[in-house]
Amino acid sequence: MTNSVDAVTRQMQERIENYQRRFGVLFQDYFKRLRQEFDAPKLSRFTPRSFDLLEDLSLRGGKRQRVAFMYEAARLVTSEPVPGIDEAALSIELLQTHLLVHDDIIDDAPTRRGGTSTYYSYKEEFPEQPQTALGLALLAGDLAAFLSLRVLLEADLPLSLRQALVETQVTAGAATFVGQMYDLERDLPALPTEEMLHEVSDYKASRSSALAPIQLGLLAAGEDVKQFDATLRRYALMFGISGQMCDDYLSLFGDEKVTGKPATADVRDGRRTYAIRAILAAADASERERVESILGRQDASADDIDTIREIARRHGVDQQLRSQMHRYAEEACVEAASWRPRWRDEAVTFFERIPVWGVERTL
Amino acid sequence: MTNSVDAVTRQMQERIENYQRRFGVLFQDYFKRLRQEFDAPKLSRFTPRSFDLLEDLSLRGGKRQRVAFMYEAARLVTSEPVPGIDEAALSIELLQTHLLVHDDIIDDAPTRRGGTSTYYSYKEEFPEQPQTALGLALLAGDLAAFLSLRVLLEADLPLSLRQALVETQVTAGAATFVGQMYDLERDLPALPTEEMLHEVSDYKASRSSALAPIQLGLLAAGEDVKQFDATLRRYALMFGISGQMCDDYLSLFGDEKVTGKPATADVRDGRRTYAIRAILAAADASERERVESILGRQDASADDIDTIREIARRHGVDQQLRSQMHRYAEEACVEAASWRPRWRDEAVTFFERIPVWGVERTL
């Protein structure tokens, strides 16, 4: 049993690495072509500079989980190459670039994906003109969003497919924007409900990072996506909650060197993540007061984080979070299992395994 | 002659007012439907609030010149009602709302269209949380952009037309973003060339405010737009330059009560507009030094503006600007005249008259 599981995991890992390589080349070519073809003002140096920064951030993308989801979704239907799938992959990652660029403005975040954020690159270039830096980052993000749609509109595909792909991305984008608003709203009440956090996770992440990629892959492979709307949404939701819990857990309990994000970040920003919420819910009155006194303080230190971690461990919150993220990953797995025998076994297996694998890789 | 011109002008004015009324109702209905139909997180209050602010800014839109351009472009081809034209009008104005919301973040502008800007509305709601205000304004803007595409994607139209409309808007949006970057770039050199200002005007404004509306109207009316690309671009460019010169002129020489924008705004922000550029180009060394010492100063006063105006008038720059905006308006007029006899006379007349009318209304 263990051996065969290992074999499947190895195979899955190989497939993901394969997609990463393939997509890396594709994405580099895309930016090369963009520079040649984009109708930019001749005298402007700011336009090519924005391409540099968008390319830099885009190519830094690590796991390309969205891309793997999309290729595997097409494989649910067929093992043959599917036209339009590469354009859909580019569109997904360009929309992601858009979201990250704007997210780093919203969070005033200096780093992203182990490098300087687009916003801070501009801040470094215009140290005396903060509004110029803000403006350029905002516009570079806007541009990435429209490029993500343009790449689909220009794809050599039947009109109806092209339109379905564009619609999927526009819907995913709009959902993400309201999800991000909701994410800001979440930090206002003292103790957001779990239901609220699930809804945030759904709108902010699941729809653009899991649901849309699966929909795009299925559409490109000729599947009628609407028919499977409910099960795809459930899968994306459960997977998304599990993934968000992993992220929130790692932000607090993880190794900064691995996450590439300081453990103080969420606390300083007063983010009421799954982890923080669970701690506040479990803590007694005096502990809660202690945690609240640290949350949102810009000078929160490593010692403060240790204090919060200690309170968490005292109530078994770290353990509780780990078991919860497992539970949601397993619910996603069960949902994917229901896709047999309608869809191809090897791809169903991928979607079954990846949620739990994601959790296990995290811990 | 004078009488018949007056009659044409009156007729034109009536038609524009007619479009304004018709579109106002349409836009209100759109937002009503949006609230009912948009798939928003159930528990979120921030999403409906963003709709409120987007609606408020959108309905405050004054002249609706873009909308008039689009309806008149369809009338170049036919006097019959054209399917898809209302959705195209909504799309144009939603994209404009997007541009304004983000523009007011870039410029840190408290007011827009005679009311509070979306950014400042959020700032007032979150006086202690500037990043939350920034984030919400940014996301509301993003949302408006995607709504502007969604309204086209959902239109009950033949696929090929729908796709052509979406493509037009995505192209116009992308051009505007690089135009706005270029607009920020323009303010860096001491004396930008006129060519640079024309290119800024083309990308930042002409393409989304003149070219795209005309293209959308023609497309909806079944015209092959690509065939007329060169003449439409020339018209939009000349009209756009003339209009930008009007705006820049009014910002400096106009009545604040009419423009709704303080005369100090461009000067404080150090904007090298057509007006400022012309003054710097005409001024002698000591005057230039004087103007430069005021430009970009946040405490620039009404007296400072008077100083700049005086230098301008001393060199006849105000007169020169007025004659230049007339010249470009007339070039647009000549371009439109070349559309006869291919297109319908009454609509050609509209496009012939409106550039000069725009200038004369300004002065």
Over range B280-290, report the average pLDDT: 95
Note whether A130 and A123 are within 8 A (CB).
Answer: yes
Q: Long-range pairs for B282-287 at CB < 8 Å and ≥24 separation? A: B282/B312, B282/B315, B282/B316, B282/B317, B282/B320, B283/B311, B283/B315, B287/B311, B287/B314
Name which of A139, A162, A195 is nearest B180 (Cβ-Cβ). A139
What class is the B11-223 domain? mainly alpha
Q: What is the DSSP string of A107-133?
A: TT-SEETTEE-HHHHHHHH-TT-HHHH
Q: How confident is the model at residue A257 (pLDDT cuts 50, 70, 90)?
A: confident
Q: Is B159 on the interface with A (CB under 8 A)?
A: yes
Q: Enumerate the β-bridge partners of residue B116.
A: B111
Chain A CA closest to residue B201: A41
Q: Could you count the other beta carbons within 10 Å of the beta carbon of residue A189?
A: 10
Q: What is the pLDDT of residue A287?
A: 96
Task: Give the pLDDT confidence of A226-238 residue by residue, as tens digits.
Answer: 999 999 999 999 9
Query: What does B66-80 look like in DSSP terms, one character per residue?
Result: HHHHHHHHHHHH-SS
- Contact A202/B132, CB-based, under 8 Å? no
DSSP for residue B284: -
What pLDDT is stored for residue B2 in this prediction? 52
Mean residue pLDDT across chain B: 93
CB-CB under 8 Å, A166 with B166 = yes
**Closest by Cβ to A42, choosing from B41, B138, B199:** B199
Q: What is the ipTM of this complex?
A: 0.94
Residue of B nearest to A126 (CA): B188
Q: Residue B27 and residue B59: Cα distance in Å, rounded?
A: 7
Q: How far is A12 from chain B (nearest CA, A)?
A: 34
Chain B positions touching A180 (Cβ under 8 A) are 135, 139
State whether residue A237 sits within 8 Å of chain B by CB.
Answer: no
pLDDT tens digits along B62-98:
789 999 999 999 999 999 999 999 999 999 999 999 9
Q: What is the pLDDT of residue A179?
A: 96
> What stretch(es) of chain B map to CATH 1.10.600.10?
11-223, 224-363
Chain A environment of B178 (Cβ under 8 Å): 40-41, 44, 46-47, 50, 139, 143
Reference A248, options A293, A194, A207; nearest CA is A194
Q: Is the pLDDT of residue A5 over 80?
A: no
Question: Which tokens sit at A305?
Answer: 């984080």
Residues in chain A with CB shorter than 8 Å from the CB of B106 are 131, 134-135, 138-139
Which residues in chain B touch residue A147, judged by CB atoms under 8 angstroms apart?
A: 174
- Burial pattern A166-183, b for ≥16 Cβ within 10 A else e, equals bbbbbbbbbbbbbbbbbb
What is the C-alpha to C-alpha distance for residues A87 and A216, in angstroms, rounded to an integer?
10
Residue B90 near residue B63, CB atoms below 8 Å? no
What is the spatial distance between Cα B314 and Cα B302, in angstroms, rounded to a whole number? 18
Please provide the DSSP assignment of B187-228 as one string.
Answer: TSSSS--HHHHHHHHIIIIIIIIIIHHHHHHHHHTT--GGGG
User: Is the pLDDT confidence value at B3 over 80?
Assistant: no
The set of residues, in sequence order, having a beta carbon less than 8 Å from that of B64 and lying 6+ positions away, is: B16, B19, B20, B23, B93
B163/A180 CB distance under 8 A: no
Q: With 80 as the cut, is the pLDDT of residue A357 above it?
A: yes
The encoded tokens of residue B283 equal: 């001024």
Indicate the residue type of A266: D
Residue with tokens 């607090």: A252
CA distance A215 to A175: 15
| Residue A217 Cα, gap to closest chain B Cα (Å) | 20
Query: Residue A175's closest CA among A244, A123, A99?
Result: A99
Q: Is the pLDDT of residue B223 over 60?
A: yes
Share of chain B above pLDDT 90, in %: 85
Closest of A151, A35, A27, A149 to residue A87, by C-alpha: A151
**Amino acid at the residue A332:** A
Q: For domain A13-173, which architecture applies?
A: Orthogonal Bundle (1.10)
Cβ pair A238, A355 in contact under 8 A: yes
The b-or-e profile of B274-292 (16+ CB within 10 A means b, else e) is: bbbbbbbebbeeebbebbe
CA distances from A84 to A151, A158, A218 (A): 10, 10, 11
Q: What is the mean pLDDT of chain A?
A: 93
**Would the pLDDT of A363 be above 80?**
no
Identify the helix (H) or strand (E) that includes residue A141.
Answer: helix A130-153
Is domain A224-363 in CATH 1.10.600.10, yes or no?
yes
What b/e sequence results for A122-146 when a residue is b if at least 16 CB atoms lie within 10 Å of its CB, and e otherwise?
A: bbeebeebeebbbbbbbbbbbbbbb
pLDDT digits (tens, 9 = 90+) for B150-169: 999 999 999 999 999 999 99
Interface test with B, best of A42, A43, A183 (most B CBs within 10 A): A43
**Chain segment A201-255, per-residue pLDDT in tens:** 999 999 999 999 999 999 999 999 999 999 999 999 999 999 999 999 999 998 8
- 3-state SS of chain A: helix, strand, coil percent to 5? 75, 0, 20
Residue A4 has pLDDT above 80, yes or no: no
Residue A1 clears pLDDT 50, i.e. is over it = no
**Number of neighbouring beta carbons within 10 Å of residue B196:** 20
Average the pLDDT over B33-39 and give the result: 95
* Two structure tokens written together for B154: 């959902």
Of the segments A183-187, A328-332, B111-115, which one has the largest average pLDDT value?
Answer: A328-332
Would the CB atoms of B44 and A178 count as touching at under 8 Å? yes
B108-155 pLDDT, tens digit per residue, is: 999 999 899 999 999 999 999 999 999 999 999 999 999 999 999 999
**Cβ B276 vs Cβ B266: under 8 Å:** yes
Interface of B with A in 10-39 (CB under 8 A): 38-39
Q: What is the pLDDT of residues A22-35, one digit of tens each?
A: 999 999 999 999 99
Residues of chain A contacting residue B146, judged by C-beta atoms under 8 Å apart:
145, 170, 173-174, 177
Cα distance between residue B64 and residue B61, in whole Å: 6
Which 94-153 residues of chain A touch chain B by CB within 8 A? Answer: 102, 105-108, 131-132, 134-136, 138-140, 142-143, 145-147, 149-150, 153
* A249 close to A325: Cβ distance less than 8 angstroms: yes
Query: Taking CB atoms and an 8 Å limit, are B142 and A102 in contact across chains?
Result: yes
Q: What is the mean pLDDT of residues A280-299?
A: 94
Q: Is residue B1's pLDDT more than 60?
A: no
B342–chain A Cβ distance below 8 A for any pair? no
Q: What share of chain B is helix, strand, coil (3-state, %, to 5)?
A: 75, 0, 20
What's the confidence (pLDDT) of residue A261?
Answer: 73
Residue the block writes with tokens 């005057």 = B287
Q: Which of B139, B19, B138 is nearest to B88 (CA)?
A: B19
Q: Does the pLDDT value for residue B317 go beyond 60?
A: yes
Q: Are the beta carbons of A178 and B143 separated by less than 8 Å? A: yes
From CA A196, how far away is CA A213, in angstroms rounded?
Answer: 24
Over range A323-340, report the average pLDDT: 97
Looking at residue B4, what is its pLDDT?
67
Say whether pLDDT at B220 is over 70: yes
pLDDT at A2 over 70: no
